[in-house]
Amino acid sequence: MKILVVDDEADLELLIRQKFRKQVQSGAYTFFFAHNGVEALEHLKNNHDIEVVLTDINMPEMDGLTLLVKIGELDRVLRAVVVSAYGDLDNIRTAMNRGAFDFLTKPIDFSDLELTVEKTIKQVTQLRQSVHEHARLESIQRELEMARTMQQAILPQIFPAFPDRHEFDLFAEMIPARMVGGDFYDYFLVDREHLGLVIADVADKGIPAALFMMMSRTLLRARALNNLPPGQCLQEVNTMLCDNNDSAMFVTLFYAVLDIASGVVRFANGGHNPPCLVRAAGAIETLQTQVGPVLGVIEDATYEEQTVTLQPHDAIFFYTDGVTEAEAADQGFFCEERLHNVLQQCRGASAKALVSAVVAAVRQFAGTAPQSDDITAMAMCYMPEAGPA
């Protein structure tokens, strides 16, 4: 620890060297000496690792009170202890208001001085650790913001999704519980006649979930664009996720393919919440699915492919469990019943209106309770009579 002693009394240097000779010899302390505030600032300028200043108040050229102001302007870890005449309470009070950590009175009690120096060093050490931790947290925050930007960038967010196609209406939203999340949605044209729809939820939060999410999405899209049936697509993605999955992470995933002309939807479910069918005729149904294993756990898992046929103006509402398991302090979970009620009230609305209504209802229900899980919703309304542009 490097300590700067500032005092115009020449004999103080000799006394301090004698008192702390063992610490100096062992290398625990290194002392610098100045006779006024001007010399002290020069030492501080040339030695950025000085962290403790012991300064008199009454000195020529620049007194200790002015020095304290100058020290306060330095952007570094530093603590000052002032020395003043016994009973000089006004100056001591001023010194403490200007940032002094502690004070000593003259004549100096060297036992008290030793204890004060040790206490100040301990405080400086704690402060240094705090500054280091703060810098580390700021670095993590920057990384999280970058990860959030990257994650949001890979999720399709341009609506209308396909301006030249009017046979369907799409909208989706993902609200992470943390800076980055594990949910994702996706949609893409497999070819001119087929629309792919994906909703998924990685079983974790934060950066690890975001990385696993991005990998899952990339693998799924790559297999899907090869025009693989949904069941086979999930099977191949699962095999790849299981390979070298030392983190033991997994993802629930629902993949559906709409035949745009006929309204037939082929789908496979890897452990995910079944979507809701919003029928134009008025019924709100939970899509009956054969739920297969989550992806990333059982290497040889298989996934059954099923179908459902949409009628004109029917809609499918996809969601993650952050919707139905949103929790209010005194009302339990949002639950499927409330979700169906919201969808019933919005029957016949646009895809954006469906998603916005559900998200708004979930937030109103949860109130001030903290969001515990990512909230993701996607709606697709089927309008075949509109035809392509």
In the chain, ranges of CATH 3.60.40.10 domains? 155-386
In the chain, ranges of CATH 3.40.50.2300 domains? 2-133
- List beta partners, residue 2: 30, 50
Mean of all residue pLDDT scores within the chain: 88
Residue 388 in this model has a pLDDT that exceeds 70: no
Residue 205 is predicted with a pLDDT of 67
- Out of 3.60.40.10, 3.40.640.10, 1.10.15.40, 3.40.50.300, the CATH code matching 155-386 is 3.60.40.10
Q: How far apart are CA 383 and CA 274, in angstroms?
A: 22
Residue 212 is predicted with a pLDDT of 84
More confident residue, 389 or 34: 34
Q: How far apart are CA 71 and CA 258, in angstroms?
A: 69
Model confidence over 6-48: pLDDT tens digits? 998 878 888 888 888 888 888 888 999 999 989 999 989 988 8
Residue 140 is predicted with a pLDDT of 59
Q: Which amino acid is at 7?
A: D
Residue 389 in this model has a pLDDT that exceeds 60: no
CATH code at 2-133: 3.40.50.2300
20 CA to centre of own chain: 48
Residue 170 in this model has a pLDDT that exceeds 90: yes
Q: How far apart are CA 170 and CA 157, in angstroms?
A: 10
Q: Which amino acid is at 294?
A: V
**With the CA atoms of 226, 229, 231 and 233 taken in that order, what torsion angle do they form, in degrees rounded to the nearest 10?**
0
- List beta partners, residue 248: none
Model confidence over 260-295: pLDDT tens digits? 999 999 999 999 999 999 999 888 999 999 999 999
Alpha helices for the chain (secondary structure H): 10-19, 21-26, 37-46, 64-72, 89-97, 110-154, 206-224, 230-242, 321-324, 335-345, 351-366
